[in-house]
Amino acid sequence: MKRVLIANRGEIALRVIRACRELGLETVAVYARGDEDSPHVALADRAVCIGPAPAPLSYLNVQNILAAALGSGADAVHPGYGFLAENADFAELCADCGLVFVGPSPAAIRAMGNKDRARQLMAAAGVPVIPGTGAVADAREAAKLAGKISYPVLLKAAAGGGGKGMRLVEEPGQLARALELARREGEAAFSDATVYMEKYIRRPRHVEIQILADNHGNVVHLGERDCSVQRRHQKLLEEAPCPALSPALRRRMGRAAVRAARAVRYSGAGTVEFLLDEQGNFYFMEMNTRIQVEHPVTEMITGIDLVKAQLLAAAGEELAIRQEDVAFRGWALECRINAEDPRQDFQPSPGVITGYRPPEGPWVRIDGVARAGWRVPPHYDSLIAKVIVWGQDRAEAIARMERALGEMAVQGIATTVPLHLKILADPEFRRGHYDTGFLARLLAGDGR
Amino acid sequence: MKVEELLKLVEAVGASDFDEFVLEAQDVKLTLRRGRPGGSLVPQPEPAPVPAAPVPDQPVREPGLVEVTAPMVGTFYRAPAPGAEPFVQAGSRVKPGDTLCILEAMKLMNEIEAEIEGEVVDVVAENGQLVEFGQVLMTLRPCKP
């Protein structure tokens, strides 16, 4: 592997280019019209325009990206996250063209991409999944099943989505009526009255385990990240370690994640996402078969460069570390600075950044594309920078993040910085006692 | 035109991608031009030394020339086969539908055809080289109808 084409833009393209450079690999960037001035174009050894601004015509244009890779003499393609990162067909086409896809096999991507299949695979591999049922026939069967799963349970219309056809049942007395309502909603909204049942997880935390694997069957886990601070399933602030995990629980979740990775013969960097309940039970949600936005917090507490590890694994090298070599040191936080206005219901705020001062100083890391004079294009992701800090413990990390965000100034566009300061100051957050409903409660509190 | 309407207009243009906006109505002539970014209140960090993106040489152009640009990323070929006569060269007369060159992408040979009648002025792209989306391949001087 000598030359890597980065099929992405934004901060992750910069992250990959930097890792390549440290490994002595040449880099080819791709960009859409309008992205000529984006930092990844300047940082790469070479850049190729692959289409007009809309992503389907450029960053998702498989033909142009592969032509750019072959024509520029690249021998590997790093997909970053988003865009083509979890597209098994793209991974396969890369292989067909003789290009190394920096990621797992197409088969592993497919296995984890199909939620139902992934759940069955995981259950078979001994990874805990949320207890659930097939189609529920009638109220009598429902009562039997609910007793087995244990209350509270959630009834879900098979074709449902967006909360439609979903009913929470706290106790047996509510079951028959809730089943009827879920059926009727399913029938009305999706012409399908089929209803499933699953265990309802109260106040869950989103805790995910980072995995590293090679092509030789070695798999290690690098501990967890807590990503419970989310808005509509969009993560906003992440930390490692998770304040709710004991070393014993960390080991159990880590082992489960390694089993998950082994079950699909995983290779490279990946993340197994779990829901963690208040009793310390955890359940498989999904596996992300790519590098993640929040990977730096794991890097900060393990000292392991995940993107370099990805590239080395793709090049066929064996993992340089064993599980017993993985040690955790201190605490790391990441705040996602998005071009969004938290006071205007998180409306995107594209435009020209007229003034920019990133935070500096000890143990502050910025992975970002923001700079003064740069126009945030309206076509893509709103992430303009990630502020990552490390501290000896959680209290120091929080104080450092507050200090860093206090130094940060972004002019010309609205960002999520004020919201992050509010989260960091919140007593519930500072105690570490928060769950996936935390941010919604915090935002609702503004209205009072 | 009312002041409120004017302000709304300025706001809408400000939120758009336009660099310049000119409006001429009965009673008003308005020109909005986006200033260079800067003049901010926060201290500016030193700009990182950023190598400029390569810009193809812009030859002095006569007005009215039409650029033929690459509709896809691919390898540019001037001739149907190695050693064969090029499809066109400077001075060639072309009409709509004539093949100008080939772009090879994913082992597919895509013939790029002339869309207008005219004369080839200059073949800018280099034979056998990768061309980007939108890159100028050649320039044509259209025939006066």
- Total domains, chain B: 2
Stretch (H or E) spanning B4: helix B3-15
Of A72, A354, A409, the CB nearest to B130: A72
Task: Give the residue from A45, A35, A33, A51 showing the smallest Cα distance to A6.
Answer: A45
Which among B109, B129, B132 is the top mutation candidate for probing chain A, defined by the most A β-carbons within 10 Å of its own β-carbon? B132
Task: Look at residue B122 and tell me if it is in a domain.
Answer: yes
- Is pLDDT of A165 > 90? no
Write down the residue that tokens 């209803």 correspond to: A195
**Cα dihedral A58→A64→A72→A383 (10° resolution):** 20
Tokens of A164: 């439609």
Q: In this structure, is residue B127 part of a structural domain?
A: yes
Question: Which residue, among B55, B133, B136, would best test binding to A if mutated, counting the most A CBs under 10 Å from its CB?
Answer: B133
B40 lies in some domain: no
Same domain, B81 and B134: yes
What tens digit of pLDDT does each residue of B67-76 get? 999 999 999 9
pLDDT given at position B108? 84
DSSP summary character for residue B14: H
Q: What is the ipTM of this complex?
A: 0.75
Rounded to the nearest angstrom, the minimum Cα separation between B91 and chain A is 29
SS3 of residue B13 by DSSP: helix
Please state whether beta strands A26-32 and A46-51 pair in parallel, antiparallel, or not at all (unpaired): parallel
Query: What's the pLDDT score for residue A115?
Result: 84
Which domain, by its residues, includes B96? Answer: 66-142
Decide: helix, strand or coil at residue B5: helix
- pLDDT tens digit sequence for A398-439: 999 999 999 999 999 999 999 999 999 999 999 999 999 999
Out of A50, A97, A411, name the one closest to residue B73 (CB): A50
Same domain as B79, residue B28: no
Cβ <8 Å between A63 and B105? yes
Count of pairs with CB atoms under 8 A, one residue in A, one in B: 93
Q: Give all domains of chain A, ordered by start, each with its CATH number.
A: 3-101 (3.40.50.20), 139-199 (3.30.1490.20), 205-446 (3.30.470.20)
A119 is a catalytic site residue? no
Q: Which residues of A148-181 are buried (b: 16+ CB within 10 A; e: fewer)?
A: ebeeebbbbbeebeeeebbbebeeeebbeebbee
Contact B73 A372 (CB under 8 A): no
Whether residue B57 lies inside any domain: the answer is no
CA distance A78 to chain B (A): 18
Confidence of residue B38 (pLDDT cuts 50, 70, 90): very low
**Strand partners of residue B139:** B67, B122
Chain A CB contacts of B45 under 8 Å are 356-358, 372
Over B37-92, what HEC string results?
CCCCCCCCCCCCCCCCCCCCCCCCCCCCCEEEECCCCEEEECCCCCCCCCCCCCCC
CB of B50 less than 8 A from some CB of A: yes
Decide if pLDDT at B144 tops 90. no
> In this structure, is residue B73 part of a structural domain?
yes
Are the beta carbons of B42 and A47 separated by less than 8 Å? Answer: no
Chain A: residues touching B (Cβ < 8 Å):
33, 36-37, 39, 41-43, 47-52, 58, 63-68, 70-72, 97, 351-358, 371-373, 378, 409, 411-412
Are residue B29 and residue B76 in the same domain, yes or no? Answer: no
Interchain pair A372, B38: CB under 8 A: yes
Residue B112 resides in a domain: yes
pLDDT confidence tier of residue B44, bands split at 50, 70 and 90:
very low
Residue of A nearest to B107 (CA): A67
pLDDT of residue A447: 45
> Using one digit for the tens of pLDDT, what is the confidence trace for A54-84?
999 999 999 999 999 999 999 999 999 999 9
Instruction: Please write down the HEC assignment for all residues of chain A.
Output: CCEEEECCCHHHHHHHHHHHHHCCCEEEEEEECCCCCCHHHHHCCEEEEEECCCHHHCCCCHHHHHHHHHHCCCCEEECCCCCCCCCHHHHHHHHHCCCEECCCCHHHHHHHHCHHHHHHHHHHCCCCECCECCCCCCHHHHHHHHHHHCCCEEEEEEEEECCEEEEEECCHHHHHHHHHHHHHHHHHHHCCCCEEEEECCCCCEEEEEEEEECCCCCEEEEEEEEEEEEECCEEEEEEECCCCCCHHHHHHHHHHHHHHHHHCCCCEEEEEEEEECCCCCEEEEEEECCCCCCHHHHHHHHCCCHHHHHHHHHCCCCCCCCHHHCCCCCEEEEEEEECEEHHHCCEECCEECCEEECCCCCCEEEEECCCCCCEECCCCCCEEEEEEEEECCHHHHHHHHHHHHHHCEEECCCCCHHHHHHHHHCHHHHHCCCCCCHHHHHHHHHCC
Residue A63: list chain B partners with CB under 8 A: 72-73, 105-106
Residue pointed to by tokens 């413990």: A393
Does residue B132 share a domain with residue B83?
Answer: yes
pLDDT reading at A332 higher than 70: yes
- Of all residues in chain A, the one with the smallest CA distance to B15 is A351
Of the listed ranges A191-200, A247-256, A293-302, the least confidently predicted one is A191-200
- Catalytic residue chosen out of the listed positions A15, A119, A225, A290: A290
Both B137 and B70 in one domain: the answer is: yes
Higher pLDDT, B50 or A215: A215
Spell out the long-range contacts of A21-25 with Cβ–Cβ below 8 A and sequence spacing 24 or more: A22/A305, A22/A308, A23/A308, A23/A311, A23/A312, A25/A1, A25/A311
Contact between chains at B130 and A36 (C-beta distance less than 8 A): no
pLDDT tens digits, A134-164: 889 899 999 999 999 999 999 988 876 666 7
CATH of the domain at B105: 2.40.50.100
pTM over 0.80: yes
